[in-house]
Chains A and B, each alone.
Chain A
Amino acid sequence: MNLSELLLELFLMPLIAFLVGLTMVLWMRRIGARIQRRVGPPFLQPLYDVVKLFGKETQISHGILHDVGIIMAMGGYIAAEMLLPVPGMDGVAAYGGIITLTYLMMVPSLGLALGVGQCANPNGSIGISRALTAMLAYDVPFVIVIFGVAYHAGSANLIEIIDLQQQAGMAGWGVVEMPLLAIAGLITLQGSLGKQPFEIYVAPAEIATGPMVEMGGKYLGGLFVMQSFQFYTAAVLYVSLFLGGGESWFELLLKSFLVVTLPLSVAYLFPRYRTEDLVRLLWKWPVMIGLLGVAFVV
C-alpha cells in the first residue's frame, strides 16, 4: 500500500480506538450502575467528561516532566493502536508483532511514573510504586500467555494469528484450542485493566487516587483518554489472540464488548487486594494455568 493510505490508516486507527474506548468506558459505568441497582450516566457522559476536563482554564503544572509524563501515557497507547490490526486496516502491524505491542503497552505506566515523580506528592508516589508493582505482577502471566499463543500459531505476527483462526472457523479459535491459556489470559486482563480486585493502585479513598492525585484539568483529560485506549487495546488484543479477530467491524465490536463485560461484571462485586496479595495471586494462578497450557501447546 502506498504512503498516503498508510498515513490515513495511522490517523484513523487511534481515532476509532478513542471513540470505541469512550463507549467502553460508558459501558463500564453502566454495568457498575446496574449492578448497584441504579441508572447509570447518560450515553455521551465520557465525552462530556473529556471535553470538560480539556476545557479547564487554569492548571498547575509541576514542571516539564509532569507534562511529558502525560504525553508518554497517551502516546504509548496511540502507538500501540497502530500495531493492532482491525478489519480493513492493518497499520504497521506487519512490521511489528506481539512483542512490540507488549512493549508499547508498558510505556504509559512508565511515563506516568515520571510525571507523578515530579509532582512530589507522597500519595502519588505510593500509588505509582504500587502501580509498577502490579504491572510487574501481571506481566509475567501475560508474557507466558503470549508465548503460548505465538508458539501455537508459529509466528509472533498478529495478522497471521488472526488469519489462522479465521481460516479454521470457529473450531480454530484460540479459546477452543488453548482453553487454559484463555483462562489465564482472562485473569491477566483483569489485572492489566486495573479493575477490582486488582485496583490497589487507584485506591480512591485510601491514597487519594494514587498517581492521579495532582492531575487536574488537562492532565486528567489525558488520563481519561488513556483509560479509553487501555480498554480498547486490551479487549481487541484478547479478541485477536483467542476469539478469532473480527471479519467485520460489527463482529469485532460485539466480541470485544463481550470480553470487556466479563471482568467488569466481576469487578464491581469485589473489594481490592493488598499489593503483596495481588502479586502472590497473579504469580500463582495465572502462571500455573498458563504454564500448563503452554505444556499442552508445546
Chain B
Amino acid sequence: MQDNNIDVNYVADLARLELTEDQCERFSEQLNKVIDFIKQLEELDTDSIDPMAHASPIYDVMRDDVSRPGLGSEIALLNSPMTSNNQFKVTRVVES
C-alpha cells in the first residue's frame, strides 16, 4: 500500500472534477504522503469509543410546521449562469 494508497483518477471522477495529467501525478504523490501520515490513527484502539459527528449537544431541532416566506424565484435565479423561462437552465441531461 505504501506508494499506492489512492487512485486519484477514479476519485476525481467520483467528485466530478476534471484533472490534468500533471495534477493527477502531483496529487497522487502528495496525497499518498498525507494518507501515509493519517494512517497513524490505526495505532489507537477505538473499539469501545463512540464516533462524534459534531461538537454541539443538540439533536433533532424542531419548529412548528408553519409556512414561511422563501427567497422567491426571481432572487433565487439572480446568480445563475444560465436561466430560461424563470427556471435554471441546465446542460442536456438525457441522450438525444
A and B form one complex: no
Chain A interface residues toward B at CB < 8 A:
none
Chain B interface residues toward A at CB < 8 A:
none
